[in-house]
Structure 1
Amino acid sequence: MSLFIETEGKEEFDFDIREIAELVVNAVLEHEKCPYETEISLLLTHNDEIHEMNLEHRGIDRATDVLSFPMLDFDHPGDFSIIDEETADVFDPESGELMLGDIVISVDKVLEQAQEYGHSPKREYAFLIAHSMLHLCGYDHMDDEERKVMEEKQRAIMEKINILR
């Protein structure tokens, strides 16, 4: 697995951002039984920048905690059998890894929400990566049924890596 992390400025975390990101990404890929080596990009930014991205890409004029930019369109969430290795343009030609997509997280929101929800910034950061990774694997939460499936998967992943509230 290749995880490319880019940060904009000083991060205010007391944990290793790469170590936690890799832990969560690997847990999600294992949970979803992804049969491929993968490539994911993670950008840690701030409210002003994610606000601009949210407006540009989703038409929502406010900062958000996390944005997900999947490379694949799944017929069914987590069904990696849709990928034809011979013809798919979602494999990096140099590494051969499946390019799952990009994750953008607001550091400001991580800190705000950790305080608001009464848990650590590490837990909030890990949760947002798990949430976004599930989006990269085709999951969504547009209706109650989808939301319940995603919430259960998030809970199971967070328990597996033992990063709890």
Structure 2
Amino acid sequence: MAIHLAWSNEQEQFDITEELIALLDVLLQKAAAAEGIEDGEVALTFVDNKQIHELNRDYRGIDRPTDVLSFAMNESLDEEPEIIYEIGEDEQAELFPDMLGDIIISLERAKEQSEDYGHSFEREVGFLFVHGFLHLLGYDHQDEASEAEMMGKQEAVLAEAGLVR
């Protein structure tokens, strides 16, 4: 098997082009290879600020929009709510043996940030996607050392795909 990207669009503001999906698939392949992941599926959903605000509030208790959310299928933290299914981990593994998790990106927020940072919309969406993917694998940025590690991995994948600032 291979690493697979399944995507859906729940926002109307931005057109999702075949080129953008192809770019995200390339980034997924490169990030997965860098992490030694050979099999799996990532579900990606594009939303707007209103939708991501609701998700951020409901699942993280943070009442504001954000740019990207990740929900790992193999995460089993006590404080993390069951997001999709209220079934046990063994049943999840049986139903979704290769599902790594869900990444949700606000394209509205990505557009705002690309303008703020002075780089392309595609680079910003790519950055958010790789960032979300690394969260699915357990990476975090709670302290300076883990943030530096995560940022280094993200930038290496983006550079390999030609998405530099």
Per the alignment, in what secondary structure is the counterpart of residue 157 of structure 1? helix
Residue identity (%): 35
1:133 aligns with 2:136: no
Question: CA contact under 8 A between 2:41 and 2:98: conserved in structure 1?
Answer: yes
Q: How far does residue 147 in structure 1 lie from its aligned partner after superposition? A: 0.5
**Deviation at residue 91 of structure 1 after TM alignment:** 4.6
Determine if contact 2:24/2:126 at 8 Å carries over to the other structure.
yes
Q: Tell me the residue number matched to 1:64.
A: 66
Q: Does 1:20 align with 2:19?
A: no
Conserved? CA contact 1:41–1:102, under 8 Å: yes
User: TM-score, normalized by length of structure 2?
Assistant: 0.83
Give the TM-score taking structure 1 as reference length.
Answer: 0.83
**Structure 2: how far apart are the matches of 1:125 and 1:145?**
24
Moved over 6 A (4+): none
1:44 equivalenced with 2:54 (yes/no): no
Letter in 2 for 1:48: K
Shift of 1:98: 1.7
Query: What aligned pairs does 1:60-99 form with structure 2 within 5 A after superposition?
Result: 60-73=62-75, 91=93, 93=95, 98-99=98-99
- Contact 2:11 2:48 survives alignment (8 Å): no
On the 8 A contact 2:13/2:108 being kept in 1, the answer is no
Whether 2:28 is the aligned partner of 1:34: answer no
Residue 32 to residue 90, structure 1, CA distance change in 2 (3 Å):
farther
2:66 aligned with 1:55:
no
Letter in 2 for 1:20: L
Indicate the SS of the match to 1:103.
Answer: strand
Give the gaps of 5 or more residues in structure 2: 77-88
Residue identity in the other structure for 1:32: E
CA apart distance, 1:12: 2.5
Deviation for aligned residue 1:2: 2.5
* Equivalent-residue separation in structure 2 for 1:119 and 1:161 (angstroms): 15
Task: Tell me: CA distance 1:97–1:21, structure 2 relative to 1, closer, same or farther (3 Å).
Answer: farther
Report deviation, 1:10: 3.0
